Homo-oligomer: A and B are copies of this chain.
Amino acid sequence: MSLTLQEKILQAAAELFYSQGIKATGVDAIAKAANTTKMSLYKYFPSKDELVLAFLRKRDQDFRAWFVEQIDARADTPKAKLLAVFDVIGEWMAIPEFRGCAFINAAAEFPLEGNPVHQVSAEFYDHFRSYIAGLAGQCGSKSPDSLALQLSLLVEGAIVSEQMKRHSGAAEQAKQAAIVLIEAA
């Protein structure tokens, strides 16, 4: 445990932002959830916008570290790792707290391309695609970038589909489609 006050605030903000939406979450609610006050919140984060960006940047780091760890624990070969991607997101989507992808949701809440929140969200998927492209390249795919983009479309589609309606089998179908696409490439 023993979290810094700053970390406690960021953690409370993350849970509320993710579960309720960013614009739907006020700074008073964050301070109360972190068992502190607005004064302390604004000591560590100069504005709500900065707190939102801090939330997304931490989410980016945490999620990517957790994700590759999960993949590496399940598969050894690049091809098996590509397929394991869909098992990992399938399990993630099954937890009750699942509310879609924080970056997709943030980009939807801040639709302008120039908005920093939107940009940070876009960068996350750039990195995600690069990771998939790396695996695709190791598989000997002729066009790893194309395959990576296609697979990431399946991932994003599955996340959004599951967010809209739970337990619709999106992850399984995404994996079946991925098998076909990987085999064809």
Contact = CB atoms under 8 A, between A and B. Distances in A.
Interface residues of A, number: 47
Contacts of A170: 149, 153
Given A149-B169, A184-B180, A107 B157 contact: no
A43 interface: no
Interface in A107-149: 107-111, 113, 118, 121-122, 125-126, 146, 149
Given A155-B157, A156-B160, A161-B125, A21 B99 contact: no
Contacts of A11: none
Contacts of A158: 153, 157
Contacts of A104: 104, 108, 160, 164
A177 B150 contact: yes
A20 interface: yes
A109 B161 CA distance: 15
A106 B169 CA distance: 22
B100 A23 contact: no
Contact of A153 (B100, B153, B163, B184): B153
Contact of A160 (B126, B157, B168): B157
A174 B161 contact: no
B157 A153 contact: yes
B107 A163 contact: yes
Interface string A44-73: 000000000000000000000000000000
Lowest 9 CB-CB distances: which A-B pairs, in order? A153-B157, A157-B157, A108-B108, A105-B108, A156-B157, A150-B177, A122-B164, A149-B173, A23-B23
Interface of A: 19-21, 23-24, 99-100, 103-105, 107-111, 113, 118, 121-122, 125-126, 146, 149-150, 152-158, 160-161, 163-166, 168-170, 173-174, 176-177, 180-181, 184
